[in-house]
Amino acid sequence: MRKLIVFISLMCCAAQVVAQHIYFKGRYEYQHNDLALNYGNLLLPDGYLLYGSIKTPMINEYSAAFLKIDPFGNKIDSLIINEPNKLIECKSVFALQNGFIAVCHKGSNGGGNRYDPYIIRLNANLDTLWTKTIVFGSDTLPFVSGAIMCRDSNLVIFGLVLDSVPTSGGIMILKIDTLGNLLNFKSFVFPNEYQGCASVDQTYDGGFVIAGSSSYYHPLGPGYYKDIVIKTDSLFNQQWIYPFGRNDADNGSCVAKAMSDSTIMIYTPIPIQAGVNPMREWYFRKVTYTNQLIWENQHGPAEDIAWPRNLVEVDDSTFYVCRQFSNNPKVVLSKYDGNSGNLLWSRESRVGCGAHIGGSLNYVPDDSGFIITGFYQLYGGGLCPPDTGSQDIFVIKTNCEGFADPPLADFIPFSFPGFEVVLDNNTMYYTSMQINWGDGDVEYFGIHSDTLISHYYQTQGTYTVTMIAKACGDSDTTSMSVVASTLGLDENDKLKIKIWPNPTDNEVSIQFNELLNEVNLELFDVTGRNCLTKQFLTSKTIHLELSGLNPGIYLLRITDQNGIVFTKKIILK
C-alpha cells in the first residue's frame, strides 16, 4: 500500500553550486512529530534515495519510509509503506533495471522478537509492485540488520537469529533472488553467547566476510562483548573465524570490507575494560583471504564512543570511514592510506544541535564527493532550530576532500614598521592556497596550522593582496588593500574592520576602529549584480539589514573616507 506524504521541512539546507561541485546540509522529517530513522542512501542518476522507517506518535508501529531528493537536496518524492499492527523497517535498497528492491523486516505489534525478512519491489516512481515475507521455522526468531547485492545480482541478507527459548543467538545470513525466492541460509551460533552482525561483504573469490560482535556471559555480569570476523565460501561454509577482544572488555562492533586487491580490511574499536572508561581508540587489520596478517594500525587519542558505520574504498591506495559519536553532535569522515592504515585527514560535519546517529557513507563518482545520511536526536533550546518532533533525518554532501562547504578565502591584514604586512588567515575548507602580494611576488600554501602569514615589501605604498583558496577543483578569491610604511600600525589601523555574525540570518554589524565621517557600502551577488548600496555618515558601528535578500554568498565592498577599499564575503543563510 502506497501513502504519499507531505514534505514538512528542509531546514539548515543551503545548496551552492561552485564550479563542478554541489554542497548541502539537509534536515528533513517525513511527518511532523514522527520519530524518523535512516539506515542508508542509494545513488540515483537524478539524486539520492534515502530509506529507513518512522514511528507513528503514541502507537508502537513502525512504517518503512523512503525519500527521494535531487542532487541539490530538494525533495522529489516520498513514500510510506505500513500495515495495521505491524512493525516494518527498511534496512537496504538496491536499484534494478526498472525500479528498486527494498530489504526490510516485518514484525507484529506485541508479537515478541520475530521480525521476518520482508521484501518490497518498487517501480521507478516508487509504486509498490509486490511484497514478500520470508518465513523460517516456528522456533526461529530472525532480525534483519542489512543486505548486499552480489555480483550475480542476487541478494544476501544478514542479521541476528534467536531460538524461541533463547539461551543463545547467532549470526543469520541468507541468499535470495530478486523475486524473493530463498536460495541458501546459514546461521552461526555459539553456546552461551549472542551474536550481532554489523556487516557482510562478498570477496573476490566468490565467498563472504562477516563481521559483528558477540555478547557473552561473564562472571562479573553483563556488558562484555567481543568482535568476531568469519570468512566463508560461496555456500556460507565457514573457512575461518577470528575473535577480537579480551575477557574483561567491551569491544563494541566491527566492520569488514573486501578490498579490490583481494584482501580484507577489518575496522574495529580497541577493546576497553567494561564499565571503566567509555573512550576508545581505533584499530585496522588488513589480512589475506586465509587470515594472514598484512599490516595492522592503531589510532588515537581515545575519543568519545564512536561506532564504526561503514568503510568505502575509492581506489586501491585509499579508503574512507564514517563514524558516529554517542554524545557529540557531529559525524566524522576520515581518509586513510590503504597501504599502511595511516590517517590522511578527518573532517567533522554538523547539521543541527542534536546527537548525530548513523552516518551511512556513499561515494559520488560524478564529482568524487561523498553523501552521508543518518538521523539525529534534537537537543533543543538556546541557538538550536525549533524542535520538529522527535528525530529528524540528516543529509550531508561533501566534496572530494570531505568538506561540506565550498572553499572560503578570508584574511585580516595588519601592518608593522619596516614595510611588513601580516595576514591573519581565516581561510576555511581548502587544500591549497595562493597569495598574490601585489608586488609581483606570489606564494603557495597547503593546509597548515599557521594562521599568521607575513610578507615584506621593498618600497612604501598601497598594494592589493589577492588570496585564492582551492579544493577539489573549486576556488574562492578575495582581495583587499594593504599599506606598507615605516609607521606601521598607527597608519594602518583604518584597515581593521570587524564584521559579525557571518554567516548570518538577516543582519550584519560592521565595526571600525575609529569614527569615520563617510562610509560607502556595496553588496554584490555571485553573478556580480549590485544588490544593495548604502552610504553612512559619522559612523563607527553600522548595522546592515539583509532580510530582503535570498540566501547565498555575497561580496561586501566597503570604501572609507580615504578611498581605501575593503572586501568581505558574506554568507546569508
Give 48-114 as a DSSP string. EEEEEEEE-TTS--EEEEEEEE-TTS-EEEEEEE--TTEEEEEEEEEEETTEEEEEEEEEETT-TT-
CA distances from 326 to 39, 57, 294, 307, 380 (A): 17, 24, 32, 8, 17
Residues 312-371 pLDDT 10s: 999 878 999 988 765 566 788 999 999 999 999 989 888 766 667 777 899 999 999 999
**What is residue 49's predicted lDDT score, i.e. its pLDDT?**
96
Q: Are 217 and 244 in contact (CB under 8 A)?
A: no
Q: What whole-number distance in Å separates Cα of residue 200 and Cα of residue 147?
A: 8
Is the alpha carbon torsion for 241, 245, 246, 251 positive or negative? negative
Per-10-residue mean pLDDT of the chain, 573 residues long, equals 35 42 84 81 95 76 90 90 86 94 84 80 94 77 89 94 63 93 87 76 97 66 70 96 67 83 88 54 88 87 58 90 71 90 88 73 94 78 52 90 93 79 88 95 81 86 95 93 69 59 85 79 76 83 85 80 72 82
H runs (alpha helix) in 155-247: none
| Cell, residue 343 | 590517517
Determine the straight-line distance between the first and last CA of the chain, rounded to whole angstroms: 39
**DSSP code of 495?**
G
C-alpha cell at 74: 530538494
Sign, CA dihedral 275-278-282-286, equals positive
Q: Tell me the pLDDT tens digit for each residue of 236-260.
A: 999 999 887 655 555 567 889 999 9
The reported pLDDT for the residue numbered 466 is 97
pTM, full prediction: 0.78
